[in-house]
A and B are shown apart, each in its own frame.
Chain A
């Protein structure tokens, strides 16, 4: 158990809908990262938040947005869903912005999104 929790575990929805994925980082971790894992693209970085502020953006579509709240949990919002958005969405957390030792990215169990 990495200490990172994600809800829901599974989500099935229809095209055009909007969903929210939730992530709680490990206790004390300030940084949250979102990744998308699909069969054709592999694991791709979407966005990073650090202590409530957006830190870095990757291959995140404009239809997707995220935020990190004062209690450090994060939400990833996906709107106008398309079939191609079906994927596993992972959240990872790390303590600070300095890498090394125990301060690497630890992943949650993921949310499997199916768009029908």
Chain B
């Protein structure tokens, strides 16, 4: 099945550092979502983006919907231990609430 390309695949950072990850697609999406998954849990919605160029924040998290509609970016500022996990982007081609196509995931690890 189709998956969006997410990079980097993994990140090892120190507490307090800023984090950037991105997601790209060969086709256009009309909605971009960012989820976080902890071990043994389901994905938890972090940010939803609905307009090209939109920049949205949720606390220390900021995400952008790329102008081309083929990419999205997620930034985490001043990382803390609870940020550890796997981050997934997800895109939707239709405006209605239909199936999501997920990215390959970025695993974030904080080095003590």
Contact = CB atoms under 8 A, between A and B. Distances in A.
Interface of A: 2, 4, 31, 33, 35, 41-45, 48, 55-56, 58-59, 90, 92, 94, 96-100, 103-110
B30 to A, nearest CB: 9
Contacts of A109: 40-42
Contacts of A2: 42, 44
5 contacts: A2-B44, A33-B100, A44-B1, A45-B101, A103-B97
Given A42-B104, A97-B98, A108-B42, 18 more contacts: A2-B42, A42-B105, A43-B43, A48-B99, A55-B98, A58-B1, A90-B43, A92-B42, A96-B97, A97-B96, A97-B97, A98-B97, A99-B31, A99-B48, A104-B97, A105-B100, A106-B45, A107-B35
B97 A90 contact: no
Nearest to B105: A42
B54 to A, nearest CB: 12
B33 interface: yes
Contacts of B100: 33, 35, 43, 45, 105
A60 to B, nearest CB: 10
B95 A99 contact: yes
Contacts of A33: 99-100
Given A42-B3, A106-B45, A110-B42, A99 B92 contact: yes
Contacts of A90: 42-43
B87 interface: no
Contacts of B73: none
Interface string B36-62: 000011111100101000000000000
